[in-house]
Amino acid sequence: MSDMKSTLLLLLTAGLLMSCAPKTESTTTTTSTDNGAVETTTTETTTETTTETTDESTLANDDQGDLSEEVDMAAGDGLEGTVMDFDGTGRTFMLNENDKNYTVNISESTEFAGIATTADEFFGADRNGANIAVEGAINGDAIDATKVTTSQ
């Protein structure tokens, strides 16, 4: 099973790297002049995509995320960071990832995994300073959580 995970991770990494390769487009323009001469101009445009990678969102960062969760994180479908402004009674908290703060929006359908497997378990203990992963849609400075994974 471990070889399968390694192979999948390698294939995903290769796919991401290939999508970052520069792309070249060529445009040819043909014009006629009044004296019947034909001029051909070819223009090449290179578009380069850059992707910033960090040690976050990998299987090597010692969190509780499994391979599919880590792939979601790497694809930008979630965040990993430290809980701050935790309010268990109000069931609200913020997440700090790479010195940026996000408001985490929890709904009835949010799944909980890791140490706390229910909303009651998660909000029943002070999580300030805990490292967690939050999967969901990122909207500016907020994330609509579909899954919260606690590692401490």
Return the SS3 of 24: strand
The DSSP 8-state label assigned to residue 117 in this structure reads -
Interval 1-53: pLDDT, tens:
555 566 666 666 666 666 665 666 666 666 666 666 666 666 666 655 444 44
Does 76 fall in a domain? yes
How high is the pLDDT of residue 42?
Answer: 65
Does 21 fall in a domain? no
Does 82 fall in a domain? yes
Residue 137 pLDDT level (bands cut at 50, 70, 90) = very high
Does 15 fall in a domain? no
The DSSP 8-state label assigned to residue 110 in this structure reads -
How high is the pLDDT of residue 78?
Answer: 87
Across 51-66, average pLDDT: 45
CATH number of the domain bearing residue 79: 2.40.50.140
As for how many domains the chain has, the answer is 1
Whole-Å CA distances, 45 to 19, 24, 51: 17, 6, 20
How high is the pLDDT of residue 81?
Answer: 93
Interval 79-130: pLDDT, tens:
999 999 999 999 999 999 988 999 999 999 999 999 999 999 999 999 999 9
What range defines the domain where residue 143 resides?
59-150
Does 136 fall in a domain? yes
Write b or e for each residue in 85-116: b if 16 or more Cβ atoms lie within 10 A of its Cβ, otherwise e.
Answer: ebeeeeeebbbebeeeebebebeeebebbbbb
Higher pLDDT, 34 or 144: 144
How high is the pLDDT of residue 90?
Answer: 94
Check if the beta carbon of residue 89 is closer than 8 Å to that of residue 98.
no
Does 52 fall in a domain? no
